Amino acid sequence: MNGAQALIRTLLRSGVDVCFANPGTSEMHFVAALDDVPEMRAVLGLFEGVVTGAADGYGRMAQRPAATLLHLGPGLGNGIANLHNARRARTPVVNVVGDHATTHIKYDPPLTSDIESLARPVSRWFRASTTPEALAGDAVDAVQGSFGAPGGVATLVVPADLSWQEAGDPASSRPGPVVAGVGDDAVAGAAAALRSGEPTVLLVGGKAVRARGLLAASAVAQASGAKLLCETFPARIERGAGLPAVERLGYLAEFTIAQLQGARHLVLADALAPVSFFAYPGIPGYLVPDGCEVHTLATGSEDVAEALEALADALGAPPDSAILQAPARPDRPTGALNAQSLAAAIGALLPEDAVVSDEGNTSGLFVSGATAGAPRHDWMTLTGGAIGQGLPVATGAAVACPDRPVLCLEADGSAMYTLQSLWTQAREGLDVTTVLINNGSYAILELELSRVGAGDPGPRARGMLDISHPDLNFAALASGMGVPASRATTAEEFTQQLERAFATPGPALVEAVLR
C-alpha cells in the first residue's frame, strides 16, 4: 500500500468519506488511489473556492468533516476566502494540500511557496507530513484537529513522494466531536442577571441556534422576561413552524444599537459581544450599550445546549414553555418582481425540510421574514463576510443531505466568484434550486459608500459598483454548465418558475431580474 492509499483508507476509517477536490500533478497518486478505494466519494470542483466552500457546507450539515484536495500554495490560496468563512463558522474541514516531493523542493521549482504561511491564519490545526509511515497517524490527528473544540479547518500538507512511497497500514482510531461541560458559576451568573429584574438580552449564536438550544433559550426568555436575540450571521440556524422564532441582530450598527437599547445585562450563549461589521465615522464600533454588564454563559468550545437547559432549570422554567412559531405562509405574489414579492414567493413555496444557503445580500433581506412560518428548515449565512460562499455551501450541503431539498439564495455579484459550483451540481445531480438575484449591482456597496462618508460618488466611483454593463445573463451561464435555467421578470413568472424548479429533482436555476 502506498502513502496515498493509506491516507484515503485512514480518512475513511476516521469517518471522512467525501473529498472535494481540485488536483494537480503533486496529487496524482491520491487521484489514482480513488479507484482502489471506491468508498471515498470524490467530488470535483473547477475552482478551489468551490472546493473549500463545499467542504464548509458539507461540514455545517453533516457535523463531521469532508476532506478537500488542493494543489500546493496557489491552490490553497485560491480556496482561502471560503476557508476563512468556514473558520468563522467553526466548521470541521480536513484540508489536504499536496506539495512537491521532499527531495525536489530544494530546487525551488515554479510552484514552490510557503504553504504554512498561507494555511496558518485559516487553520486551527496544521501539520506538514514528513514520512510515509507517519502519514496515517497525521491524518487521524488532522480529523481530530478539525473537531476542535471548537471545530475548524485542519490543514495537512502531503509531499508527493510520501504518497508514492510504500507506507504502513492505515490507522483506525475514530476521532469525534469534543465539547467541554459548562461550569456551574457561568450558569449561576447568568441566572442572577436574568433574575435581577433589570432589562436583559439573551444573545444566542453558534450551536445555541440549533433546535435544542433554541427551545431552552425560549423557555429562559419566557421565565425571565429577557429579550431573545440571535447573532447577525449564524453558521446554521434551525427555524420555521414548530420551533422558537428568534430575531437576528441587524447588519447595520444603527439597527443593533436600537435592538440592544436599554439593556443592563447581556447573556452570551455561544455568541460574541456585538460589534459593528465595519467602522464608520461617528458611529460606535462596540455595540454593547454603556453600563450593560456582559455575562458569558457558554463559549463555542462548551456544550451550550446543556448550559441553556441548566439555565432554564435554574430559573424554574418548565421544559415545554418555549414559544413555538405557528405555521404561516404568505400568499403567492402578483405584479412587479422586487425584493418583497421575491420573498413572498419563496415563503409561499419553500419545501418541507429544506436547507437554505443564504447569500441573497440586499435583495434577500425580506426572505427570512417571509419564511419564518414555513415548514421547518435549516438556514446557513455568510459567517465570515467573504462573498462567493453561497453556491459552494449549497453544493456541499446537498452532498451531505441527499434527501433534502436545498435552496441557494444568491446575489449576482457574489455569484460571479464561484459560479462554477453549478457545474459540480449538474455533474453530481444535486437537488439544489438556485434563486439568482440579478440587480445588476454591488448594491450594498452603494449604501456603504455613503455610510462611510466617502462623499458624493462621481461616475467613475459609481462605475465600480455597477455590474450591469455588460448585462449578465445567468440563465444562459447556468445552461452552459448543464443546469436547467429560466429567467423571470414578474412576480407571477418567478413564482411559477420557482415552483417548477422545486418540483424537479436535480439542480435548477431561476434568475430573478430585479430592475
Q: Are 433 and 501 within 8 A, CB to CB? A: yes
Starting at the edge strand that comes first in sequence, how are the strands of the sheet with 508-513 ordered?
Answer: 237-239, 377-380, 355-359, 406-411, 432-438, 508-513, 485-488
Q: How far is the CB of 476 from ligand TPP (least distance, A)?
A: 18
Residue closer to ligand TPP, measured from CB, 173 or 489: 489
DSSP-derived pairing of the beta strands 237-239 and 227-230: unpaired
| Residue reference for cell 454593547 | 288
Residue closer to Mg ion, measured from CB, 99 or 359: 359
Which 3 state secondary structure label does DSSP give 228? Answer: strand
Q: Are 424 and 46 within 8 A, CB to CB? A: yes
DSSP-derived pairing of the beta strands 377-380 and 237-239: antiparallel
Query: CB under 5 to 8 A by kind: which of Mg ion, ligand TPP, none does 81 bind?
Result: ligand TPP
Part in contact with Mg ion (CB under 5 A); list of ranges 217-225, 392-400, 441-449, 494-502: 441-449
Query: CB under 5 to 8 A by kind: which of Mg ion, ligand TPP, none does 21 bind?
Result: none
Query: CB under 5 to 8 A by kind: which of ligand TPP, Mg ion, none does 397 bind?
Result: none
Q: How far is the CB of 77 from ligand TPP (least distance, A)?
A: 13
How many Cβ atoms are within 10 Å of 352's Cβ, its own excluded? 12
Q: Which helix (H) or strand (E) holds 486?
A: strand 485-488
Among positions 325, 421, 439, 497, the unique one binding Mg ion when judged by CB under 5 A: 439
C-alpha span between 95 and 20 (Å, rounded):
10
DSSP-derived pairing of the beta strands 93-99 and 153-159: parallel
Q: Are 256 and 292 within 8 A, CB to CB? A: no
Among positions 385, 457, 484, 506, the unique one binding ligand TPP when judged by CB under 6 A: 385
Q: Phi and psi (nearest 5°) for 202?
A: -105, 110
Part in contact with ligand TPP (CB under 6 A); list of ranges 299-307, 324-332, 358-366, 507-515: 358-366
Q: How far is the CB of 469 from ligand TPP (least distance, A)?
A: 14
Residue closer to ligand TPP, measured from CB, 128 or 465: 465
Q: Are 366 and 339 within 8 A, CB to CB? A: yes
Part in contact with ligand TPP (CB under 6 A); list of ranges 19-27, 249-257, 360-368, 455-463: 360-368
By the rule CB under 6 A, 461 interacts with ligand TPP: no
By the rule CB under 6 A, 145 interacts with ligand TPP: no
C-alpha span between 180 and 300 (Å, rounded):
9
Among positions 141, 161, 358, 412, the unique one binding Mg ion when judged by CB under 5 A: 412
Part in contact with ligand TPP (CB under 6 A); list of ranges 48-56, 214-222, 379-387, 454-462: 379-387
By the rule CB under 6 A, 439 interacts with ligand TPP: yes
Q: How far is the CB of 384 from ligand TPP (least distance, A)?
A: 9
DSSP annotation of 438 reads E
Residue closer to ligand TPP, measured from CB, 83 or 140: 83
Residue closer to Mg ion, measured from CB, 356 or 411: 411
Q: Are 403 and 480 within 8 A, CB to CB? A: no
Q: Phi and psi (nearest 5°) for 131?
A: -135, 150
Residues 6+ apart with CB under 8 A from 463: none
By the rule CB under 6 A, 363 interacts with ligand TPP: yes
Q: Are 269 and 204 within 8 A, CB to CB? A: yes
By the rule CB under 6 A, 441 interacts with ligand TPP: yes
Chain residue at closest Cβ approach to ligand TPP: 413
How many Cβ atoms are within 10 Å of 498's Cβ, its own excluded? 25
Q: How far is the CB of 56 from ligand TPP (least distance, A)?
A: 14
C-alpha span between 433 and 395 (Å, rounded):
10
Residues 6+ apart with CB under 8 A from 369: 343
Cis peptide before 65 (omega within 30 of 0): no
Among positions 42, 134, 445, 452, the unique one binding ligand TPP when judged by CB under 6 A: 445
Residue closer to Mg ion, measured from CB, 208 or 472: 472
Beta bridge partners of 296: 268
Query: CB under 5 to 8 A by kind: which of Mg ion, ligand TPP, none does 150 bind?
Result: none
| Residue reference for cell 421578470 | 489
Query: CB under 5 to 8 A by kind: which of Mg ion, ligand TPP, none does 445 bind?
Result: ligand TPP
Part in contact with ligand TPP (CB under 6 A); list of ranges 208-216, 289-297, 359-367, 424-432: 359-367
Q: Are 87 and 122 within 8 A, CB to CB? A: yes
By the rule CB under 5 A, 413 interacts with Mg ion: yes
By the rule CB under 5 A, 411 interacts with Mg ion: yes
Q: How far is the CB of 244 from ligand TPP (least distance, A)?
A: 29
By the rule CB under 6 A, 48 interacts with ligand TPP: no
CA distances from 395 to 6, 23, 45, 57, 434 (A): 28, 18, 10, 7, 10
By the rule CB under 6 A, 232 interacts with ligand TPP: no
By the rule CB under 6 A, 252 interacts with ligand TPP: no
Part in contact with ligand TPP (CB under 6 A); list of ranges 53-61, 305-313, 330-338, 361-369: 361-369
By the rule CB under 6 A, 413 interacts with ligand TPP: yes
Interface residue list for ligand TPP (CB under 6 A): 81, 361-363, 385-388, 411-414, 439, 441-445
Interface residue list for Mg ion (CB under 5 A): 411-413, 439, 441
